[in-house]
Every structure is written in structure tokens, then in C-alpha cells.
A and B are shown apart, each in its own frame.
Chain A
Amino acid sequence: MRRLVSLRLPTQVENLRILLVEDDSMIGQSLDVALTGTGMAVDWVQSGADALVTLRGAEYGLLLLDLGLPDQTGVEVLRRLRERGDSTPVVIITARDDLDSRVIGLDSGADDYIIKPFDFEELHARIRAVVRRHQGRSISQVTAGEVTLDLLTHSVTYRDTSTVLPTKEFALLQALAERPGAILSRRQLEDRLYDWGNEVDSNAIDVLIHYVRRKFDKGVVQNVRGIGWRIPEARD
């Protein structure tokens, strides 16, 4: 009944060719070194105009774009890029963390953004996520913390264990994994299960959580008493 599958996720970002657009030479230099250190091929330009020219001449797997450029804003660069039909994935780096700046960035066609100052590991994770999504893998996989769900096979991987879950248990985990870190209340989870066409008993959630935990361990789903359940972040 239980099928244990060893699932090693291949990352396609090792040989990624990346264009870094960053006017600040301190950050540019450090990022160049760090990204190259992960096996990426990095080209670094310091202005929007250079970025647009470079992008015409070569194909990149990802554009890492600082919003505060000297000649034109990163948003303008992005807009021109999209206008001419270039769909290179873009991750924005910005020092502005107010809501407006983020919305403008994403609206202009960025795939993700990261706010200065950031940890390199976080940037690296986002780059990987964006690239994977662009390679069409996002449709079939959802990851939250240390939990990865395969939407096609209903296989769930937690730490070193993989197993295929029954529909209700999978639906419950999927609801939690779609918003990593979020706490979902009993009512919200019941609504989700109901949407999936399942009958929901009064203690259904507790029972399902119990089953899921038994298959992995207690840490796969965290209970916040009085509020709800969540999938915890990966531990260092």
C-alpha cells in the first residue's frame, strides 16, 4: 500500500547564464563572485541601457535587475524588455520595501523580487524557484518548508521520506503548502476539503492530521493551539 519513492530534485540552475544589472560596484562585485561560486555564468552590467543592449545579443536564463539604476529605473528596463517580447525570467532587487514598489515591480512583469539587504541563500533559493517555474515544473510541484508535493502523482516528500497520500490527506497538505508558513484555521481547512468534494466530519481535520503525521513525523504539520495548522519552515 505505502510506496516509498526516493525523489532527488534535479536543479537546472547550475549552468544557468545570468545577467546581473547592478550599478553599485560593491554589490555587483560580491554578487558576481557569489553567483559564479554556485556554478552560474554571470555577466554584469551597470546601467539599464547596457542591459537592454546585452539582452539583444545573447540569451540569458535569468535577469537579476536592481531597481535603482542611474540612467533609467529598473521598472523601465523591465517594461521595454517585455514590450519587445523578451520573456527572460526577471528577479528584481530593490531597497524599497513599501507595498507600492513591490506591486509596481510585479505588475511590470517581474517574476519575483527581493529586498535589500538579503541573505545570498535567500536570493539563490528564489532564483532557483523562478527558473524551475519557467521550466514548467511549477505546475506539478509545490514546496513548503521541507515538504514537497507532486500534484500529478500525489506523492509527498518530507525530509528523507516519500509516500503517496490518499486524496483527503493530500488535499489537506496541499492547502497548507500553497501558502508556505501560513496558519490555516480549522474552518479554512474544512472549506478547502469541502471544495474538493469531500464530506467533512466534525473531527475530520484532526483525524487527517493524525494520519499525515503518522506517515512522516509530528513535525510535518505544526499545530498552533487555538489558531490552526501550518507547515513549518526548513530548519538549518
Chain B
Amino acid sequence: MRSLRGRLLLWLLGLLTVVAMLAGVAAYVIDRGEVDQSLDVQLRQIALNIGDTRRPVSGDGGGVSLDPEDALVVTISDVAGQRRTSDASVSIPLQTETGFTNVTASGEAWRSYTLVEPNRTVQVSQRREVRDEFAASSAERVVLPILGVLPLLWVMVGWIVARALKPLGRLTTQLRGWGEDRTDSLEIHDVPEEVLPLAVAMNDLIVRLDGQIEFRRQFISDAAHELRTPLTALRLQVNNLRKTSEYAGGKAAIDEMERGLRRTSDMISQVLDLARAESKAEGEKLGAVPLEDAIAASVEDVMHLANDKGIDVSLDSATDATVAGHRADIRTVLKNLLDNAIRYTPNGGSVDLAVRRSAESVTVEICDTGPGIPDALLDRVFERFFRAAGNGVEGSGLGLPIVSVIAARCGATVTLHNRRDRSGLVARVAFREAAITDH
């Protein structure tokens, strides 16, 4: 069993059960001794006071009232050797000396007291069984209450163990809420002494990890920035080459080169966007952004691309809505989705936007007339650097990852679906409607 709690419960409850059993056994043993003693005294009293020898013992037991419960047999033998007994059905051998003996007669165990007097011998015997019963019932009296309390104890032990383990639970909750964006140290002021070293070690680890994450972000950012310098030089050199090239096929080659350089530049910008999106502090207070403005701004960003391809961009059903987030973030999310839609839509196609409002959210829908995405790949396109094969479109493979990181920060969700009516993709962003604030 790997659970501390389970182990503690098992051991504590096992222990309690064993204690209850031991108490029962002890009560039995001790009581058995006491019962023996007192009944022995009783036997002796009976023997001493059994009455006159001349009176017959049979019938009424010689003046002694014999309770069948006591299981007593009295035997009196006179000098002549004539025996009288209170119960003729059992014959217990008569002892010749005064004192206690254990005998077996008629298949039963007996305890006898024999009193040898000059004129007679009196022997009082009692079934040992009676004594066992006395002891057992006394042990029962001890064990039963303990057994009765046992379920209650289980519950209480369970509660106590749970309480004692609560700080561990809190640590776990804190650690669970801990991600790349939230790396606060664990609160250790109420952590039990036994777990403290673990928590402290964990905090050290968090600090180091935090440093690593920061290092990684910084490295990506620095590397991308550094790459921009030689890339700028290359682009300038290609530009200069264009001016001086006299070779007839040179222009096409230079065009190709420029395209490649532009693509590299775009990719570096996207890497930086992603690094920046990931490093922005979580828990920042979200603003309220008029969706109409954000849509207009994001459409502005992609209009040149749409115009180049003769793609018709339109907003079909507008709703006045204010959504939670930062203006720049919402613009980036919509811009990236629009950019994808336009990129993958063939020349002369259309990209339609629509805004729908529901009780929980305000959804912006971007619907294109491109080829769509095979259903099996719909989730994978959110992976970094993933690009569906053979679409012939140049992209960094970072657009959608950036969208999902930024959208998550606004509490928005992004989903992609293939169109049912024709080929094409529908991207839906469900924003949270901004709470109405007093001005």
C-alpha cells in the first residue's frame, strides 16, 4: 500500500483490534482465577456445613438446596463405606484425603473438595464447565464494549489521520496549480516539521526551475533578436544585388531569394511573438475591449494579403459586444486566424466573419473557402512547428500555437472545424464577455 493515510489507518486500526482481543483474553484468564478461588471456597463451605450424617442426603440434598445451575454433586460416605449421593447418575471416585482435586468422571471434568472426617467423608464436586462459563461471560463483558467502540474509533482515527495529513494536501494543491506561468514558492508556514525539508527542497527546485524557464525564454528572445541583424544585412545585400545584376536569369533568382529571406524574417517574428506571449505575467487584470474595434483592427492587418489574392473579407452579422482581454492580444488572436484563413484560401475566395453571442460567451467565427484540414489533424495544428503536409503554403507553424497561448490568457477558447456545406475551415474563438464595470 503506497498511501500514507491508508497505511496509518491500517496499522492503527489493526493495533486497536489486537488490543481489544488481548484485553478479552486477559479478562478471561484473570477472572478464571478469581472464579476458581471463590467457587473453591464455596465448595469447602458446603462440605463443612453439609449437615448431620444421620440425615439422608438424597432427595433434598441433605438440607442443602442444590441449584442445578451450580451443577453440584455431593457424595457422603460413612464409616461403613455406604455412599449417598445427590445425583446417582454420575459417579465420581471418592478421594481419601482432605483437599481439592480435579477429576474426570462420566466424561466430564469436575472440581472436587473432599473432607475426610473420622466418621464420614464428604465430597462436593462441581462441573468445571460452570467455571469456564463464568470466566467467559466476564471476558465478554470486557471485550464487547471495546468491539462496540471499534467502528467509532475507526471513524475518529480516519478523521485524525486526515487532519494530520491536511498540510500535505495543501502542498499538493499548491504544486498542482504550478505551471510554467505560475512559479511562486510553496507556502511553508503551516507545513509539519516532518515534511518541511521536502517543502524547502521543493522551493529550491522551483527557484532553479524558474531560472531555467526564464533563461530559456531569454535565450529564445535573444537568439531571435540576434538573428535579425544578419538577416537585415542579407536583405539589404539582395536589394543591392538586384540593382547591379546584369545576368538575365538573375531577377527570378533574386526574387526567390527575397521570398526566402522574408519567410525567415516572418518566422523569427513569430518565434518572438510566442516567446513574448508565454512570458507575459499571468493573473494580469483583463481589460474590456469593444469587439468591433478589435475586429476592424485585425482585418486592417490582413487586408493587403487579402487584396493581393483577390479575397473578399466581410463581417456578416455584427453584435455590439465587449469582451475580456487586452486589445493587442485580441487583435493578435484574430489577426493570426484571419491570416491563416486568407493564406489557405485560393485566389478569389472569401473569408467571412460572424459574431454570435450566447449566455456564456461571445464567439467570433472565421469561415474560409480553403481546403479545410483533415479531421485527424484538427488538434495537431495547434502543436508548435506542425504543418499539414502538402498544402504548398508557406508558414512558420507557430501561428496557431501563438493564438492558443494568447487566447488562454484572455480566458478564450479556440476551436477549428471543417465546414459541412463545402470545403473550408471554420475557426471559432469564444471570448468571455467583459463584466460591466461602473465608470
| Interfacial residues, chain A to chain B (CB-CB below 8 A) | 24, 26-27, 29-31, 33-34, 37, 95-99, 116-121, 181-183, 185, 222, 224-228, 230, 232-233, 235
The answer to whether B303 and A30 have CB atoms under 8 Å apart is no
The answer to whether A227 and B269 have CB atoms under 8 Å apart is no
Q: Which 4 A-B pairs have the closest CB atoms?
A: A226-B315, A30-B236, A225-B314, A26-B233
The answer to whether A118 and B232 have CB atoms under 8 Å apart is yes
User: In the complex, which residues of chain B have a beta carbon less than 8 angstroms from the beta carbon of A37?
Assistant: 240, 243
Q: A181-B300, A183-B296, A224-B299 are in contact. Are A116 and B229 (CB under 8 A)?
A: yes
The answer to whether A27 and B232 have CB atoms under 8 Å apart is yes
User: In the complex, which residues of chain A have a beta carbon less than 8 angstroms from the beta carbon of B261?
Assistant: 117
Most chain-B CB neighbours within 10 Å: which of A24, A34, A119, A121?
A119
A33 to B242, CA, bound (A): 12
**CB closest residue in chain A, given B292:** A185
User: In the complex, which residues of chain B have a beta carbon less than 8 angstroms from the beta carbon of A27?
Assistant: 229, 232-233, 236
Least Cβ–Cβ distance between A138 and chain B, in angstroms: 22
The answer to whether A224 and B303 have CB atoms under 8 Å apart is yes
Residue B194, interface by CB 8 Å? no
The answer to whether B307 and A232 have CB atoms under 8 Å apart is yes
Residue B357, interface by CB 8 Å? no
Residue B265, interface by CB 8 Å? yes
A-B contact count (CB 8 A): 99
The answer to whether B228 and A30 have CB atoms under 8 Å apart is no
Residue B318, interface by CB 8 Å? yes
Partner of A24, one of B233, B235, B237: B233
Residue B295, interface by CB 8 Å? yes
A217 to B243, CA, bound (A): 34
The answer to whether B231 and A116 have CB atoms under 8 Å apart is yes
Residue B108, interface by CB 8 Å? no
Residue B304, interface by CB 8 Å? yes
The number of chain B residues with a CB under 8 A from chain A is: 38
A96 to B229, CA, bound (A): 11
20 contacts between A and B (CB under 8 A): A26-B230, A30-B237, A30-B239, A34-B239, A34-B243, A116-B228, A117-B261, A117-B268, A118-B232, A119-B239, A120-B235, A185-B296, A222-B303, A224-B303, A224-B315, A225-B312, A226-B317, A232-B304, A233-B304, A235-B307
The answer to whether A227 and B233 have CB atoms under 8 Å apart is no
**CB closest residue in chain A, given B230:** A26
The answer to whether B225 and A95 have CB atoms under 8 Å apart is yes
Q: Mark B220-258, 1 if CB is under 8 A from A, else 0.
A: 000001101111111111011001000000000000000
Least Cβ–Cβ distance between A40 and chain B, in angstroms: 14
User: In the complex, which residues of chain B have a beta carbon less than 8 angstroms from the beta carbon of A230?
Assistant: 300, 303
**CB closest residue in chain A, given B226:** A95
The answer to whether A224 and B313 have CB atoms under 8 Å apart is yes
Most chain-B CB neighbours within 10 Å: which of A26, A27, A37, A235?
A27
Residue B272, interface by CB 8 Å? yes
**CB closest residue in chain A, given B269:** A97
**CB closest residue in chain B, given A226:** B315
A121 to B300, CA, bound (A): 21
Beyond A37-B243, A183-B296, A230-B303, 10 additional contacts (C-beta under 8 Å) are A33-B240, A95-B225, A95-B226, A95-B232, A117-B265, A120-B239, A225-B315, A226-B353, A232-B307, A233-B304
User: In the complex, which residues of chain A have a beta carbon less than 8 angstroms from the beta carbon of B231?
Assistant: 116-117
Residue B394, interface by CB 8 Å? no
The answer to whether A118 and B235 have CB atoms under 8 Å apart is yes
Residue B276, interface by CB 8 Å? yes
User: In the complex, which residues of chain A have a beta carbon less than 8 angstroms from the beta carbon of B228?
Assistant: 95, 116-117
**CB closest residue in chain B, given A35:** B236
User: In the complex, which residues of chain B have a beta carbon less than 8 angstroms from the beta carbon of A24?
Assistant: 229, 233
Most chain-B CB neighbours within 10 Å: which of A31, A117, A232?
A117
Interface residues of B in 294-310 (CB under 8 A from A): 295-296, 299-300, 303-304, 307
A232 to B299, CA, bound (A): 12
Most chain-A CB neighbours within 10 Å: which of B230, B232, B233, B243?
B232
Residue B60, interface by CB 8 Å? no
Residue B67, interface by CB 8 Å? no
Least Cβ–Cβ distance between A177 and chain B, in angstroms: 14
Partner of B299, one of A31, A120, A183: A183
User: In the complex, which residues of chain B have a beta carbon less than 8 angstroms from the beta carbon of A182?
Assistant: 296, 300
User: In the complex, which residues of chain B have a beta carbon less than 8 angstroms from the beta carbon of A96?
Assistant: 225
A30 to B261, CA, bound (A): 15
The answer to whether B303 and A226 have CB atoms under 8 Å apart is no
Residue B316, interface by CB 8 Å? yes
A222 to B232, CA, bound (A): 33
The answer to whether A116 and B296 have CB atoms under 8 Å apart is no
**CB closest residue in chain A, given B268:** A117
Least Cβ–Cβ distance between A68 and chain B, in angstroms: 8
Least Cβ–Cβ distance between B213 and chain A, in angstroms: 19
A117 to B317, CA, bound (A): 38
A228 to B232, CA, bound (A): 36
The answer to whether A227 and B240 have CB atoms under 8 Å apart is no
Partner of B240, one of A30, A97, A224: A30
**CB closest residue in chain A, given B304:** A233
A34 to B240, CA, bound (A): 6
The answer to whether A224 and B239 have CB atoms under 8 Å apart is no
A24 to B317, CA, bound (A): 51
Least Cβ–Cβ distance between A173 and chain B, in angstroms: 17
